[in-house]
Homo-oligomer: A and B are copies of this chain.
Amino acid sequence: MALKLYDLCGSNPDLRFSPYCWRTKLALAQKGLACETIPWRFTEREAVGRHGSDKVPVLLDGDRAVRESWDIAEYLEDSYPDRPSLFGGEGGRALARFVNAWADGVVMAGLVRLVISDIPALLDPTDRDYFIASREARFGTSLDRVTADREQAVGGFRDSLLPLRLVLRRQPFLHGAAPGYADAAVFGPFQWARVVSPFAVLAPDDAVHAWCERMLDAHGGIARAMPARAA
């Protein structure tokens, strides 16, 4: 049963930057599951629409389609129980939901305001028009204005990472001695920022920065194999 994943790409089909697809790819790698990725662009609605979705990730496992990164993680944990555990037990699964929600509401929401204006240049013309129009409608202003004060705003973002920083002073990964799905959930947004923008979202002496370096090397280094955006 071959696994396939619809994976967001830029005008360059090898450029893969979706934070949610990175969560799924790291989960697949932790489980040791091979998966073919299918490059997908924002405006290719039909390709994922036939699987009941309007966005990625969409995982195909034989005849079954699974949508949403969190649901995919639970699906992989339950369908491949003999593989390494993403959650480390039911307590870990319940709390990984919280970490995932924190990653969405604090990490991703904070990073968007630092890097989103760097994304349009990576997209092909059709996707670019869609992306700019939909995101400007969401923010109520131009993408350049969203990130215009990022040199000042980055301080507040770094402050918001305090809970992560405190834990990483005591253990190398959120999951403990080795990375688990909670690490993938938080790292996905950082990998997205790294791939789409040259802006330094973390100070180099931050414990969170050192953890990102460990995540880049985790699971055979699949995250590091995707180049960072050049300055």
Contact with B along A61-104 (1 / 0, CB 8 A): 00000000000000000000000010111111111111101101
Contact in complex: A95, B170 (CB < 8 Å):
no
For the complex, is A176 an interface residue (Cβ under 8 Å from B)?
Answer: yes
For the complex, is A106 an interface residue (Cβ under 8 Å from B)?
Answer: yes
Contacts of A182 in B (CB 8 A): 91, 94-95, 98
For the complex, is A43 an interface residue (Cβ under 8 Å from B)?
Answer: no
**Other-chain contact of A89, B88, B104, B171 (Cβ < 8 Å):** B88
A174 nearest CB across to chain B (Å):
6
Q: How large is the interface on A (under 10, 10 to 19, 20 to 34, 35 or more residues)?
A: 20 to 34
**Other-chain contact of A99, B85, B90, B98, B105 (Cβ < 8 Å):** B98
Q: Count copies of this chain in the complex.
A: 2
In whole angstroms, how far apart are the Cα atoms of A136 and B62 in the complex? 63
For the complex, is A122 an interface residue (Cβ under 8 Å from B)?
Answer: no
**Other-chain contact of A92, B92, B102, B104 (Cβ < 8 Å):** B92
For the complex, is A210 an interface residue (Cβ under 8 Å from B)?
Answer: no
For the complex, is A167 an interface residue (Cβ under 8 Å from B)?
Answer: yes
Contact in complex: B88, A174 (CB < 8 Å):
no
A97 nearest CB across to chain B (Å):
5
Contacts of A164 in B (CB 8 A): 98, 101
Contact in complex: B101, A175 (CB < 8 Å):
no
Contact in complex: B102, A91 (CB < 8 Å):
no
In whole angstroms, how far apart are the Cα atoms of A180 and B91 in the complex? 8
For the complex, is A121 an interface residue (Cβ under 8 Å from B)?
Answer: no
A99 nearest CB across to chain B (Å):
6
Contacts of A98 in B (CB 8 A): 95, 98-99, 163-164, 167, 174, 182
For the complex, is A166 an interface residue (Cβ under 8 Å from B)?
Answer: yes
A192 nearest CB across to chain B (Å):
19
Contact with B along A180-212 (1 / 0, CB 8 A): 101000000000000000000000000000000
In whole angstroms, how far apart are the Cα atoms of A103 and B129 in the complex? 41
In whole angstroms, how far apart are the Cα atoms of A99 and B180 in the complex? 16
Closest 4 CB pairs of A and B: A88-B91, A91-B92, A89-B89, A95-B95
Which residues of A are interface residues toward B (Cβ below 8 A)? 85, 87-99, 101-102, 104-106, 162-164, 166-167, 170-171, 173-176, 180, 182
